[in-house]
Amino acid sequence: MSYFTMLVELPCPFPYVPAMDHSNYPNDYIRGILNSVKTIALVGASANPARPSWIVTKYLLERGYDVIPVNPGIAGTELLGKKVYGSLAEVPGPIDMVEIFRNSEAAGPITDEALALDPLPKVIWMQLSVRNDEAAAKAEATGIKVVMDRCPKIEFGRLSGEISWQGVNSRILSSKKPVLSGKGFQKLGLNRP
């Protein structure tokens, strides 16, 4: 059983919070999301390795997430070994999290597409610098958790401690050892004991 399989079988450790403060997420809220999702549809995927969306796709794949790239411009091609879809509706099978790598305005219609999925995703995550409060409210009304203006790679790095290797202020203090996540020494897990 891989590290991530273990994680996704844990019960969701946080309660549903209806009035989320979207400028200040509790660490446990983000950690709960990153622990509970497995399949991530990344809308706005790029085939250019210099683009943040490519980097995030690669990082999340390396950490055991099943990332499904979505971009109508490169639909049908392969990106980091994964088939690219033209829209959320075309993705076969359930999606746990929709990650929106487009601008704030585009996040509105993409959220609408996500809300038309059956089953609904558990999480809609808008990338760093992307914020659409109207779309967020619509999604939250259906019980979907929303994260805005955050990068899942940065958040994973922050909560695991990996980002501290780059001198970034993780804003997390702990007297517990970080968790080595399987092979090698340069990947850490989300959950300290």
Which residue, 106 or 179, is less far from another protein as judged by CB? 179
Q: How many CA atoms lie within 13 A of 40 on its CB side?
A: 30
Q: Give the contact letters, 110-129, x = binds to another protein (CB under 8 A), - = no.
A: ------------------xx
Is 170 a binding residue for another protein by CB under 8 A? The answer is yes
> How many Cβ atoms sit within 10 Å of the Cβ of residue 185?
7
Paired tokens of 107: 């996040």
Is 2 a binding residue for another protein by CB under 8 A? The answer is no
What region, left, alpha or beta, does residue 114 occupy, with left being phi > 0 and alpha being psi -120 to 50 degrees? alpha
Is 178 a binding residue for another protein by CB under 8 A? The answer is yes
The distance from CA 2 to its chain's CA centroid, rounded to whole angstroms, is 19
Which residue, 71 or 127, is less far from another protein as judged by CB? 127
Q: Which residues bind another protein (CB under 8 A)?
A: 26-27, 48-50, 52, 55, 58-59, 62, 128-129, 151, 154, 157, 161-180, 183-188, 192
